[in-house]
Amino acid sequence: GVYFKISKDSNHLIEEFMLLANRKVSEFISLNGKGERTNLTFIYRVHDDPDPVKLEALREFVGTFGYQMNLANTKKVAESLNKLLKDVKGKGEENMIETLAMRSMSKAVYSTEPIGHYGLGFEFYTHFTSPIRRYPDLIAHRLLQHYLDGGKSVSQQEYEEKCKHCSNMERLAADAERDSIKFMQVKFMEKHVGEVFTGVISGVAEFGFWVQIPENGAEGLIKLRDLMDDSYMFDAKNHLVYGTRTGNQYQLGDKVKIKVMKANLIQKQLDFKIVE
């Protein structure tokens, strides 16, 4: 079967301690006892502000549902996003707006420039707590020991290259992880070909849309050419496809009933069909 991790209170408590450790190590190296910058080269986990263009598109889109967003400054954006995600809880548009809000965020990377971590709201942050599985954490451990031993600041240029390499390797690892999960999901769904499920539209493109089955995370494609009831057009701004004659719509976040038509392990792809 397909199983989802369930985080308990003890997991959340450990996560908070790990966040605190990551934060305090980066602050210890970055600031002196008076709270002034030390200018010591270090490896930071940074998360830039959201993309302004994507935020404006999100603001316009959620406005059609009656939600307001204030994009005046970084603080207002954070407050607006938190309020938006709270307001959509339990609403029909919850899945769609949560997905779009996440897509408006920047990607976290490693850098020697401490620009802060927008998502966590920390001025200084690093990855320190998992040196047995993440090389950037090992770099942080080595630098901490180096500075505790009275060592001088290391070359920023050299360590910026290390940061870029680690960020690139992280992306490759994430892609490999997604591929392996996708492979196992398709393999799991092979024995469910012909069965009907209720899913949520998780992505929309000019050639079709993807539907995800919540209970197992499996995602399949419905091609527009397979929708025989009408000729469908893609509306990128509103994240939907619509029938030119009937006006029938399929929008990001909509719940739909689908039938599993094909499971292709080689391509790691599932083909679905809409069930009326």
Task: Tell me the domain boundaries of the chain.
Answer: 9-183, 193-274
Looking at residue 252, its pLDDT comes to 87
At 189, the amino acid letter reads: M
Q: How far apart are CA 191 and CA 187, in angstroms?
A: 8
Return per-residue pLDDT of the chain as tens, 276 residues. Answer: 666 778 899 999 999 999 999 999 999 999 998 889 999 999 999 999 888 999 998 998 888 888 999 998 888 898 899 999 999 888 777 877 888 888 888 899 999 999 999 989 899 999 999 999 999 999 999 999 999 999 999 999 999 999 999 999 999 999 999 999 999 999 999 999 999 999 999 889 999 999 999 888 899 999 999 999 899 999 998 889 999 999 999 998 889 999 999 999 999 999 999 997
67 backbone dihedrals φ, ψ, rounded to 5°: -95, 145
Q: What is the SS3 assignment for 36?
A: coil
Q: How far apart are CA 41 and CA 152, in angstroms?
A: 9
Distances (CA, A) of 14 to 19, 123, 273: 9, 21, 43
Asked if 249 and 96 count as a contact pair (C-beta separation under 8 A), the reply is no
Least Cα distance to 119 among 45, 169, 173 occurs for: 45
Tokens representing residue 69 in the block: 């967003």
Looking at residue 113, its pLDDT comes to 97
What is the H or E stretch that residue 214 is in?
Answer: none
Q: How far apart are CA 190 and CA 198, in angstroms?
A: 17
Domain 193-274 fold is OB fold (Dihydrolipoamide Acetyltransferase, E2P) (2.40.50)
Q: How many residues does the chain have?
A: 276
pTM, entire model:
0.83
Asked if 242 and 232 count as a contact pair (C-beta separation under 8 A), the reply is yes
Q: How far apart are CA 142 and CA 102, in angstroms?
A: 33
Looking at residue 75, its pLDDT comes to 85
